[in-house]
Amino acid sequence: MIRKCLFPAAGYGTRFLPATKATPKEMLPVLTKPLIQYGVEEALEAGIHTMAIVTGRGKRAIEDHFDISYELEHQIKGTSKEPLLHEIRALIDRCTFSYTRQREMKGLGHAILTGETLIGEEPFAVLLADDLCENSGGQGVLGQMVTLYNKHRCSIVAIEKVPRHETDKYGIVAGEEIGEGLYRVHDMVEKPSPEKTPSTLAIIGRYILTPDIFDILRETPPGRGGEIQITDALLRQARKGRVLAYRFQGQRFDCGSVEGFVMATNHFYKKFHS
């Protein structure tokens, strides 16, 4: 059973400077909700109630968001504004939040390893809040992956097909299709050039990982860009046939980029205001 979701949220978010100079990228709002709140809602919908967040310097707004704000709540009590806090209040009541800090930004793999103290010896989900996913009317992406995990009991990465000229922005997988949209992974490369990529199936920000990944990450040397890459660690599991890649149902917005962020904003605005 997947009980915990890890949110690596320590990155600098340089593509969004200057907005992210003093504000965590995960707190940028799509309409009125910060990105990380969409992520927590998706995890909750997948049946996960324990949120484990890896933060860094300058990220305290995330902790404050998932806490009570007595002064504010007292101020708006009984006014027409009060309902605006109902949703987040209900969310906080249904989850527990724990935090740890990544002191040096040594990459996603390192951020996940930093989260070991919050996860322990059990399989867990990883959600990158800047990939905003939606499956209108259907099960959320993490929920779909938890269902798959319960059947296959191995690590799972969510993937989508990307244009060939964009492979150098993603971890790319190659494998054998064993079911509709489900692949047994045999190769993984971090940000390959379009000429050298083994496929155009790109990993997006949703993972289910088995806890042996922590030992593997500890032994994984820094890879591309001097960072510890989760892709390198997953490849070790993949070589034992222990990684599946899943083409999820739904839509993903890359809210770490300005273009994806604007697309998400337009999408949700149309959805709620038409």
At closest approach, how far in Å is the CB of 171 from ligand UTP?
10
Please state at what angle helix 35-45 crosses helix 86-94, rounded to 10 degrees: 50
Indicate whether 61 belongs to the interface with ligand UTP (CB under 6 A). Answer: no
Which amino acid type is present at position 87?
E
Residue 112: which of 59, 42, 44, 53 has the closest Cα? Answer: 53
Indicate whether 233 belongs to the interface with ligand UTP (CB under 6 A). Answer: no
Indicate whether 106 belongs to the interface with ligand UTP (CB under 6 A). Answer: yes
- Residue 46 or 108 with smaller CB distance to ligand UTP: 108
Indicate whether 130 belongs to the interface with ligand UTP (CB under 6 A). Answer: yes
Which of these ranges, 69-77, 103-111, 166-174, 258-266, lies near ligand UTP under the rule CB under 6 A? 103-111
At closest approach, how far in Å is the CB of 22 from ligand UTP?
15
Choose which of 3, 14, 153, 169 interacts with ligand UTP (CB under 6 A): 14
Indicate whether 217 belongs to the interface with ligand UTP (CB under 6 A). Answer: no
Distances (CA, A) of 89 to 62, 83, 125, 147, 211: 14, 10, 23, 28, 32
How far, in whole angstroms, is CA 194 from its chain's centroid?
Answer: 25
Distances (CA, A) of 88 to 70, 85, 95, 259, 266: 14, 6, 11, 27, 22
At closest approach, how far in Å is the CB of 115 from ligand UTP?
9
Choose which of 2, 5, 62, 107 interacts with ligand UTP (CB under 6 A): 107
Which DSSP state fits 46?
T
Indicate whether 97 belongs to the interface with ligand UTP (CB under 6 A). Answer: no
Which own/partner pairs from 32-37 qualify as long-range (CB within 8 Å, at least 24 positions apart)? 32/84, 34/65, 35/129, 35/130, 35/132, 35/255, 36/7, 36/9, 36/62, 36/65, 36/129, 37/65, 37/88, 37/91
Indicate whether 108 belongs to the interface with ligand UTP (CB under 6 A). Answer: yes
- How many residues bind to ligand UTP according to rule CB under 6 A? 20
At closest approach, how far in Å is the CB of 72 from ligand UTP?
27
Choose which of 8, 123, 143, 175 interacts with ligand UTP (CB under 6 A): 8
Interface contacts to ligand UTP, rule CB under 6 A? 8-15, 25, 54, 102, 105-108, 110-111, 128, 130, 256
